[in-house]
Structure 1
Amino acid sequence: MNGRKRHLLTDTLGLLLAVLVTPASTTDRDAARILLSSAKNRFGGLARVWADGGYTGHLTDWAAAQLGIVLDIVRRSDDVSGFQVLPRRWVVERSFAWCLRSRRLVRDYERRTDTSEAVVLWSMTTLMSRRLAARQYLAPAVAA
């Protein structure tokens, strides 16, 4: 396998809901069908998803008809050249950056895609549990 793609589904805070690792030859739209189907089964209240331009095409119609999910595509403005922060899209990019703080995710060391998914899950679970623990210690003490 020459390359892989990591597809993340996060909440609005950037916390991981689902991950799918595919060979690089898999199109984003095909991977999104798998990821959205499994996420809808797991999170029944999933109603709206924001995605980048790689997920355009018939995927928006398919998500609405088959899953009842509104798929909003965040598009770049043609007027601006260079880097620009896209609304909603930066949340997932930030989650990718959080993943890359884990040494095992900087390079793809795993042979199997399910092992690679497990490493992403482990990394984000560690991050989320540290955040929960930090909030517990930052909360003001209640006098009894």
Structure 2
Amino acid sequence: MIENEKENLSAVQKIIVDAGYTGEKFASEIKTIINANVEVIKRNELHTFVVLPKRWIVERSFAWLEKYRRLWKNCERKLNTSLQMVVLSFISVLLKRF
């Protein structure tokens, strides 16, 4: 996926991933393809609730997008149209905050 969209990802400097992407091979491939660093955010091994730094940003963003019914089911014919629906949803979220 990243290989196919490397032109659109040229400004990305850091990719935040969960523990499923731990490994030097993944990080080196990302570095080779788009010259970005990979930061792995791991959960605490204890089974207690702890807010993980930076991971809550992604979870919060997904929660905001779940409020938009059009994004629940992908009924668009083109990938670019789906991308624009996500962008419009984020714009709507930002406008409601001000």
Larger radius of gyration: 1
Distance 1:65 1:83 in 2: 36
Residues 76, 36 of structure 1: CA spacing in aligned structure 2 closer, same or farther, 3 A cutoff? farther
What is the aligned-residue identity percentage? 29
Conserved 8 A contact 2:27-2:37: yes
Note the C-alpha offset of 1:50. Answer: 1.7
Report the alpha carbon displacement of residue 81 of structure 1 after superposing the two structures with TM.
1.4
- Identify the range of structure 1 (113-122 vs 86-95) with the bigger mean alpha-carbon deviation: 113-122
Which segments of 5 or more consecutive residues in structure 1 lack a partner in the other structure? 1-30, 135-144
Task: Determine whether 1:53 maps to 2:23.
Answer: no
Runs of 4+ that moved beyond 6 A: none
TM-score by length of 2: 0.73
Whole-Å separation in 1 of the counterparts to 2:69 and 2:57:
21
Aligned to 2:34: 67
CA distance in 2: counterparts of 1:117 and 1:98, whole angstroms: 16
Query: Aligned Cα RMSD in Å?
Result: 2.5
Q: What is the aligned partner in structure 2 of residue 124 from structure 1? A: 90
Cα contact 1:50–1:71 (8 A) shared by 2: yes
The answer on 1:86 being equivalent to 2:52 is yes
1:87-102 residue pairs with structure 2 within 5 A?
Answer: 87-102=53-68
Kindly provide the CA deviation profile for residues 75-122 of structure 1, in whole angstroms up to 9, marking residues without a partner as x: 1122x11544221111011000111121222x2141536133222121
Answer whether contact 2:9 2:34 (CA < 8 A) is retained.
no
Q: With structure 1 as the length reference, what TM-score do the two structures score?
A: 0.53
Mapping for residues 5-16 of structure 1, pairs under 5 Å? none
